Structure 1
Amino acid sequence: MLLLLLLLTSTGPGHAVKVTGQEKTDGSCLCEVNTNTWAFPTQKFEKVDKLVQDCGANLQKLQNQVTETNGELPKIQAIIKNVTARIEPLKYLNTKGIHNALHLRQLSQDLEEISQMINTAQREKNSAETRKLKEEVVKVQEEVKNMFTDNVFNLETVRDKLRSLHNRVQSCRTIPGDFRSPCHQRLMSNISSPVTTKLNPFDKSYVSGAWGRESKRESEGVYWIQPLRYSNIYDYTIRLYPSYNDFMASKNYKDVNVAAGYSYAGGIQGPGTVLYGGAVYYQCYNKDELCRYDLQSKETKRLTLPNVGINNKFPYCYYSCRDYTDIDLSTDEQGLWVIYATESNHGNIVLSRLDTETFNITHTWKTRLFKKSVTNAFMVCGVLYATRYADTYREEVFYAFNTATGHEDNTLSLPLEKVSTGVASLSYNPIDRKLYMYNDGYLLAYQALF
């Protein structure tokens, strides 16, 4: 028997199978071949087939997810855009480290400054209040000292305590002993309906500006109006009337230019203007400064407000923003005030009292009222009041900060009628005890009730 070796190629490349056979008499070869060697790999095929099916199902699921995501993506982008726009004004909170680890060294410096202020106040007016403040400062200094070694502390709580101490020191230094005589009832009890309603004499399109009555008794008969005729933001002219009758009749007026043009040095920006003691006070054009234009000497003085936010950084913004109302001046029985906001006070209202003789800041209080959360603000008897939008025809005085005590009250609800939505300016006159509002081009006056 002749054994033959046949190499038959299998289904896989590079593989061979050895087969035995017999040579017949006619020279042919008879071989027995086991065909199981080339049997189809059914089990492997089924596994691969299942894998392909699973992969197809997963691919379809992934494709459905992509389709669904593409449908939701515009909504997500819209939400992100909205949130980004809302967070944008508050970016400074992060860049200034307010929400990061706060600096203990700076806190210590602030506390030392307050301590020096209390020492000065105690020398000027040694009272039970100044002695109490001194004791409280010593306690806080000990707390801050312990912070350098403790791992757990709340710096924001300490900062709020320092703000309260700062305000109490300012109040202790500021209020003269006889102040209660003109303001025996410091808080307003109500506000009358408008006693004057008049469209401004320039044009109804001038929706922003200020108006009122000279706030110092030496020139108490003079009425004035200062519209913002350039983009409802800027101007350089104030119109004066010698009497109320002339004002109502729009006659016998005199236009005074405080600068060569609104964009020149000394131009007016924003509706925060007031007339006090024969001088026009306002925000200088595009500057973090107050301007004082003397109507007699024609001279302009300037005063820088430290750290103030300007150019729509902290405008009045409740319901809708009133552009370029970052700096607002106000008058009352105590004199002249400026209302603004700073980054260091987290965008909350800062109130400073001005000495009109030297044109300097004498005292400053820091409130916890976010300036963009109010429509407008004004001073009456050493108390800061803030308003908010109620509806198209009504404002509400909802907040008061008393400089005599440093206390805040956000439970007020004094209605204030108006004829249109927007309030450009609102100020108080201590002579006639009236509030003067510039309301979308309309001029309204109210009687403050105590």
Structure 2
Amino acid sequence: MAHRLLLPSPIVSQPSLIRTLPSAFRPQPSAKVLSIKCHLLMKGIRRGPDRFWDDEDYVDQDASETAWKNDDPILEECLWLVTKNASGIITGKDHCVCEIVLPDSTFPAQRVTALEDETQRLGNRVEEEMEKIEEQEIRLESYLDRLINFTWRLERLEKMRPEDLVDINFGLLREDLQEMERLVIELKAKLKGNATHVENLYTEVKNISKIVGLLETMDKNNVLKAQRDMDILKKKLLDCEKNLKAIKTPVTIPLGSCQHRGLARIGKPNIIQWKGVGYKSGAWGKDSAWNTTRKLMYWVAPLNVNGRILESVRVYSNLYDMQLNRSAFNIPLARFMKNKWNYTIAGQGSGMIVHNNHLYYNCYNSRDMCRINLSSLVTQRKTLINAVFNNRYSYAGVSFQDIDFGSDERGLWVIYTTEENAGKLVIGKVNVATFNIDNSWPTTQLKSEVSNAFMICGVLYATRFISSKQEEVFYTFDTKTGKEVRVSIIIDKISERVQSLSYNSNDRKLYMFTDGVLVSYDVALKA
């Protein structure tokens, strides 16, 4: 708080005498008298702001206190001490106005408010850090998969190629490998960075705790409230550290095992390739048969522009070739014969899947199941008895997906509907040896309410549309127990329509084809 002090003219008429008088020539009063005079002067200043001080303010004191005099050396010394760091202006002939800042002892409510705001901010930062850690862990696994693939390709090609061709053919590959190594190192650094962020949050908590300690003597109630908020924040930070450690812990459920309690969550979308406006519908993935020997093979089955007919399937030896759309083995399913197209072994809809080197799909314009060996190109077809077809009971939002194939740890499945089941989902277990349906399970879930479905360990997981950016796994059916359960597991997506969605037990991922974009998701199971 600033108080204005008017000093008599004999003292300040020559301010330089007060501020520059050498200490050797200034009067040297006794410490007691100087203390009394300064005390009286400061006591007078404390009486209130905007006060004009005159001689009578210091009269009638006891014998040890000298009366006010303009030339009193003791008061000159006291005033010199008070005003040596204060600036003043002369008003009139004999007064000088000085401003002296005196501390305000009232409770700093603004600092308490700032403390609460800072606590809220720290809480928000904790949530943001958790989301970053989860996203970066998923990205790290993806980068590591790509790095392993690059390394395998390099070792294989170096063994196959002559020495004089290695440097020519491997330059680009080595650059890609170095780039992947850089990305992995950078992502690991980011994970460590998140751990540092947690430590920084602890440092900020300690700093705020010091502020709480200062405020405690001023307002006990507000300090206790702030302390409770700090305890909550510290608990969140401890949970953050636990979750960070849990993320780094290897998955305890082995691949191929069904000793778990089902789907826990689905990771963030990982975009693999953009196919373009000419390929809005279709499916893609890897060989989904458990423990297949073709774990590096990828396939893409785009439908034609009308979103119905499957005319060909493309097979790639690895992910890198698929991303560059090179070295594809193209298998035609429609043939141009006698000036017209023959669709005898063509397919329809996006419900296809590759299982044990065979592509399974719905035969064109029929309720038949078709399969083709991707090596020998031998085809087979079997009628799916009582199944409806030709877009009568497709998934919501997509066309001609009346028959949808799925694969998991327990084998090959087909998801369809029948007239007898009134448009509700039916699950069939496919015997790959005989190409027959060994068993089927009718459900109570209408297919028209489902946007897509997939199988994990004999359990059907059905999804539905939430928004242009999200799908929800909302329904499950266990073929082992016949139990139906309502759940809520969100899937983030990058486009509105989901043309196909399938699970692969070899890498525990979901593969989605959405408006021409190839997307994969990591899957977490409940231990």
Aligned to 1:265: 344
Are residue 292 (structure 1) and residue 371 (structure 2) matched?
yes
Alpha-carbon separation, structure 1, partners of 2:406 and 2:261: 16
Structure 1 288/181 Cα, relative in aligned 2: closer, same or farther at 3 Å? closer
Pair 1:335-2:408 in alignment: no
Report SS of the residue matched to 1:432: coil
Partner of 1:211 in structure 2? 284
Runs of 4+ in 1 over 6 A off after TM superposition: none
Judged with a 3 Å threshold, the aligned counterparts in structure 2 of structure 1 residues 277 and 181 are, in CA distance, closer, same or farther, namely: closer
Range with greater deviation from structure 2 (419-428 or 244-253): 244-253
What is the aligned counterpart of 2:260 among 185, 192, 217? 185
- Counterpart of 1:311 in structure 2 is 390
Where do residues 260-409 of structure 1 align in structure 2 (5 Å cutoff)? Answer: 260=335, 263-317=342-396, 321-409=397-485
SS of 2:301 mapped into structure 1: strand
Please report the RMSD computed on the Cα atoms of aligned residues, expressed in angstroms: 1.7
Residues 1:422 and 2:497 aligned together: yes
SS at match of 1:246: helix
Structure 1 residue 230: Cα displacement: 4.0
Which SS does the other structure have where 1:189 is aligned? strand
CA drift at 1:248: 2.3
Output the CA distance in 1 between the equivalents of 2:450 and 2:306: 23
Letter of the aligned partner of 2:311 in structure 1?
A: Y
- d(CA) in 2 for partners of 1:186, 1:296: 37
Letter in 1 for 2:294: S
Pairwise CA distance, 1:298: 1.8
Q: Distance between the aligned counterparts of 1:329 and 1:415, measured in 2?
A: 22
Report the Cα distance in structure 1 between the residues aligned to 2:523 and 2:454, rounded to whole angstroms: 12
The answer to whether 1:436 aligns with 2:511 is: yes
- Between structures 1 and 2, the one with greater helix share: 2
Structure 1 distance, partners of 2:461, 2:415, is: 11
1:232 aligns with 2:307: yes
SS at match of 1:368: strand
Q: Which stretch of the first structure deviates more once superposed, 248-257 or 400-409?
A: 248-257
Q: CA deviation at 1:249?
A: 2.6
Show CA shifts across 1:386-426 (max 9, x none): 0011100110111110111110012x111111111111000
Does the Cα contact within 8 Å between 2:255 and 2:507 map onto a contact in 1?
Answer: no
Task: State the AA in 1 paired with 2:472.
Answer: E
Q: Cα distance, 1:186 vs. partner? A: 4.3
Question: What is the distance in 1 between the residues matched to 2:277 and 2:453?
Answer: 24
- How many residues get paired? 266
CA distance in 2 between partners of 1:426 and 1:287 (Å) = 22
Residues 273 and 280, structure 1, Cα contact 8 Å, conserved in 2: yes
Deviation, 1:205, is 3.3
The one-letter code of the counterpart of 2:451 is: T
Change (3 A) 1:431 1:181: closer
Query: Alignment partner of 1:361: what SS?
Result: strand
State the distance in 2 between where 1:365 and 1:188 align: 20
- Are 1:186 and 1:383, in contact at CA under 8 Å, matched by a contact in 2? no
- Name the structure 2 match of 1:63: none
TM-score by length of 2: 0.49
Conserved? CA contact 1:398–1:413, under 8 Å: yes
Aligned CA distance change for structure 1 residues 181 and 291 (closer, same or farther; 3 Å): closer
Provide TM-score, normalisation by structure 1: 0.57
Distance 1:336 1:417 in 2: 26
Match of 1:58 in 2: none
State the distance in 2 between where 1:215 and 1:258 align.
21
Q: Which amino acid in 1 is paired with 2:503? A: Y
Q: Distance in 2 between matches of 1:327 and 1:215?
A: 18
Q: In the alignment, is the contact (CA less than 8 A) between 1:421 and 1:439 conserved in 2?
A: yes
AA partner of residue 442 (structure 1): V
Q: CA deviation at 1:293?
A: 0.7
Q: Distance in 2 between matches of 1:249 and 1:381?
A: 34
1:393–1:338 CA distance, 2 compared to 1 (3 A): same
Unaligned runs of 5+ in 2: 1-253
Asked whether the 8 Å contact 2:369–2:383 carries over to 1, the reply is yes
* Separation in structure 1 between the aligned mates of residue 453 and residue 349 of structure 2, nearest angstrom: 14
Q: Do the aligned partners of residues 181 and 255 (structure 1) sit closer, same or farther apart at CA in structure 2, a change above 3 Å counting?
A: closer
1:339-380 Cα offsets, whole Å, 9 max, x none, are 001110111000001011111111100100000111001111
Aligned to 1:51: none
Which SS does the other structure have where 2:522 is aligned? strand
Counterpart-to-counterpart distance in 2, 1:344 and 1:180: 37
Which of these residues, 198, 209, 220, is aligned with residue 295 of structure 2?
Answer: 220
Q: Deviations over 1:303-346 (max 9, x none)?
A: 111111111110101xxx31101110111111111000111011
Deviations 1:57-86 (Å, cap 9, x if unpaired)? xxxxxxxxxxxxxxxxxxxxxxxxxxxxxx
The Cα of 1:300 is off from its aligned counterpart by: 1.1
1:263 offset after TM fit, Å? 4.8
Kept in 2: contact 1:274–1:280 (CA 8 A)? yes
